[in-house]
Amino acid sequence: MLHIECPWCGFRDDAEFHYGGEAHITRPDPSTTLTDEKFSEYLFSKTNTKGLLLERWCHRSGCRRWFNVLRNTITNEILEVYPVTEKPSSKQGKETYERNWRRKSPPKKTPKTDEVK
């Protein structure tokens, strides 16, 4: 069982927490027009990393606060815990944030024939 440090309550067993999946997924601005493909990427495409992952947790059975965690998915080592509204501040956290495919300029691809313009 993971031992997670809630920023408000301290170390607790993971049974008290709720996992919230990948962190730092930007919700598309609803006022802009968005292709189905772009929207689906936001909705369905999640990073499935073997290694460092920035993810969200909620201290459900405690203070009910959401926060972000940098975790190694191989060893389950937790390297950083930081507020949900901020970016990671550790070196590895910053690297993981920048290395994520969402932050890279999208690869140019020829649109499929059935793609809605």
Q: Which stretch binds other proteins (CB under 8 A): 46-54, 73-81, 94-102, 103-111?
A: 73-81
Nearer to other proteins, 30 or 105 (CB): 30
* Window 25-64: residues binding other proteins (CB under 8 A): 27-28, 30-31, 34, 36, 39-40, 43, 56, 58, 60, 64
Give the rounded distance of the alpha carbon of 95 from its chain centre: 14
Using CB under 8 A as the binding criterion, the count of chain residues that bind other proteins stands at: 29
* Window 83-112: residues binding other proteins (CB under 8 A): 84-85
Pairing label, strands 52-58, 18-22: antiparallel
Burial class, 84, CB count within 10 angstroms (exposed 0-12 / middle 13-18 / buried 19+): middle
Question: DSSP strand E in 18-108: where?
Answer: 18-22, 52-58, 66-72, 78-83
What 3-state class would DSSP assign to 43? helix
Residues facing residue 99 across a β-bridge: none
Give least dist CB 89 to other proteins, A: 18
Chain residues binding other proteins by CB under 8 A are 1-3, 13, 18, 20, 27-28, 30-31, 34, 36, 39-40, 43, 56, 58, 60, 64-66, 74-78, 84-85, 116
